[in-house]
Amino acid sequence: MMLTTTKCRAAAAWIRDIMMPANEKPWGLDPTPVAEVPDAYLRPLAAQIQAQAQKMQQQGEQVDMASLVENAREQIRQAVQEKADDAAKRHEDVVEDQLAEGGWDEAFEAFIDDFVTYPAAFLRAPILRRVPTLAWLEGWKPIKAETVRPEFERVSPFDLYPSPDATSIDDGAFIIERARFTRGQLNKMMGVGKDSGYNDEAIRRVLDQYGQGGLRDWLWTDGERAELEGRGHEWLTPGDTIDGLIYSGGAQGVTLLQWGINPNDIEDPLAEYEVEAILIGQHVIRVRINRDPLERRPYHKASFQPVPGSFWGQSIPELMADIQDVCNATARGLVNNLAISSGPQVEVYEDRLQPTEDPTDIYPWKIWRTKDSSITGNNRALNFFQPQSNAAELLSVYDKFESKADDATNIPRYIYGNENIGGAGDTARGLSMLMESANKGIKDAIRHIDRGVLRRVIEALWLHNMQYSDDESIKGDVAVVARGSSAMLIREQTHQLREQFLQLTTNDYDMGIIGHDGRRKLLESIAGKLDMPGLIPSEEQMQKNLAQQEEAQQKQAKIEQAKAEAEIGEKQARAKKYGADAGQTQADAAQTESETQVAQQMAPLEAQKLLAEIAKLVTETQGSPHGRTGLEGPGQTERVAGRKAPGGDDQAGARAMPGQPGAMPGRQ
């Protein structure tokens, strides 16, 4: 019923989703809590602190050596940690580039398929190979070049043979890999150099002996394996590949010296050395001492369910083998029962049938020719009856054991989209709780990949770069962190918590704590989850943007300040003008009041002066012979002369001066 295939396919997809995310990596390089750096980096710091102490002594300041030493120790610790952090980040970029160029994704994807199918899955890494690359000359002319880079390769479980005493990759006496080489691969091994361990003469003998017809050492399992892997035609066209054996294990120093290893690499002829050797036919084409300081072999293994004390573990097909057998038997019984109960069964009494009737020839609307019952007996010629169908009971048995497969493998049906969940799975909250419980089972399996493969591969790359890289900026005391079974499984929950945290910190108080850099990191992590790389600027770009914003704000502040100062000056000038006008008004008012007072004081004097002039004029008029002055015209004599007016009144004598009794107001 292919139930095992469904479980293996679902587990592989689940693990790929966790271990191979789009914009993340399930590993990292973090500096150790107490990082170590070379003394050459610490000497300038120590010299700087010593110079500071001498300067303080020369200036006559009292030097507290205990406090100075403690501060110096703290400064050195911080500087060392910053150096280690920077080196770890740079080294992460280098390792990520090596993984991308070395075919890590393809090898790891094939490894996951083996992991869910076979008792153990294997990766070989890193493999240093010369590969062709594209280079450019002046004028953008492409040329072919060669470079040595680390590569990664999946090893089939059918091709790896551990020693009988092995329980892991490194603790056994040896591990042998059955490999296949092409003529091109063997030709690339020549001329690499003595340090690589290849023997050019042995390679030439192999090419001379097996170069035309190839070499294929068939095993009894190869036929079935070729059928399972879709290569059944290999029996007819075996090809020109050359089989070889790659040996990783111990060898005595005497044997290595006899083979031709450099004596400088052998300290003790009787000691055991970890080597890697390649045997093709009767020719050893390579022997090389393992350069790993811890003598770890370049193979990495993980099992879905490890068995303590055993090299091989248990895979999903083994965990559910009995359940698969029961489901297959139930399905066969169901099919048989459906076939039997699909139509009626017929009982035939052949003595009553006519000789021309064929009881096996049954079709609709058939007419049966029978004999008389009195001759053959009182029996029916045909009896039809319907067999009982047990389909419902068999289906319930099948469903029961299919659900048992979920418990045996920790891969429930709702993980790969089966809608028939029932119970708590009918609600969104219940389904979330069920999936969280299922994560615990897959976490355990992924943890085996973290420990057995991912951490070992990254450590091997890190150690290779530490030994042979010319870039000193990437070298530092770091530890490999495998995040596959922890942070990657809860990344959705973490993403939701980050969004909530982003909303909670949108206030001035929290921004004062986390600052712009902390806010940038938070936004960068959320943008990465949303597959939006490059949206959030880097730290350097953010500092540049902040500097530009501050400069713009300062310019704007200066403009606003100039405007404010201009407005203040205008207001002050307007106020001064209003003050001057008010003062002039007050002065004019005071002057008017003073002039009024003077006029009031001078009025009696002017009046007296005027009266004196009038009296003088009257006197002169009275003394004139003609009774008038030269100022008077004709007809006006009567108004000023001492003549009697009509009515007999003497107007001149009757008029008096102002202020005198009997004075005329009009004349005044």
User: Which carries the bigger pLDDT value, residue 343 or residue 424?
Assistant: 343
User: How confident is the model over 464-507, as pLDDT tens digits?
Assistant: 898 888 888 888 777 787 766 565 555 556 666 667 777 777 77
- On the CB side of 399, how many CA atoms lie within 13 Å of its CA? 10
448, 474 Cβ separation under 8 angstroms:
no
What percentage of the chain has pLDDT greater than the value 90?
26
What percentage of residues in the chain have a pLDDT greater than 70?
74
Q: Give the C-alpha distances (Å, rounded to integers) separating 561 from 276, 455, 556, 557.
A: 78, 61, 8, 6
Among 68-72, 277-281, 557-561, 664-668, name the one with the lowest average pLDDT: 664-668
Question: In the structure, what pLDDT confidence band is assigned to residue 448 with cuts at 50, 70 and 90?
Answer: very high
* 311-362: pLDDT as tens digits: 999 999 999 999 999 999 999 999 999 999 998 889 998 888 888 889 889 8
Is residue 27's pLDDT more than 70? yes
627 or 599, greater pLDDT? 599
Whether 121 has a pLDDT exceeding 90, the answer reads yes
For position 664, what pLDDT does the model report?
A: 43
Cα distances (Å, whole numbers) of residue 253 to 261, 270, 275, 297, 512: 9, 6, 10, 18, 66
pLDDT score of 628: 44
Please tell me the distance from the alpha carbon of residue 27 to that of residue 461, in angstroms, as a whole number: 13
Q: Minimal CA–CA distance to 342: which of 396, 390, 387, 398?
A: 387
Query: What band does 633 get if pLDDT is binned at 50, 70 and 90?
Result: very low
User: What is the mean pLDDT of the segment spanning 287-301?
Assistant: 90
pLDDT band at 654 (very low <50, low <70, confident <90, very high): very low
pLDDT surpasses 70 at 444: yes
How much is the pLDDT for 20?
A: 85
Confidence of residue 605 (pLDDT cuts 50, 70, 90): low
pLDDT at residue 431 greater than cutoff 60 = no
Among 138-142, 229-233, 615-619, the range scoring the smallest mean pLDDT is 615-619
By C-alpha distance, which of 397, 392, 409, 413 is closest to 326? 397
pLDDT level of residue 651 (50, 70, 90 thresholds): very low
- Which residues are CB-neighbours of 310 under 8 A, at least 6 positions away? 167
Cα 397 from chain centre: 47
Helices 3-19 and 428-449 pack at an angle, to 10 degrees, of 80
pTM: 0.68
pLDDT > 60? residue 253: yes
What pLDDT shows up at residue 652? 40
pLDDT above 70: residue 438? no
In the sheet with 299-302, reading across from the earlier edge strand, the strands are: 141-155, 121-137, 299-302
User: At 76, is the pLDDT very low, low, confident or very high (cuts 50, 70, 90)?
Assistant: confident
Stronger pLDDT, 26 or 652, i.e. the higher one: 26
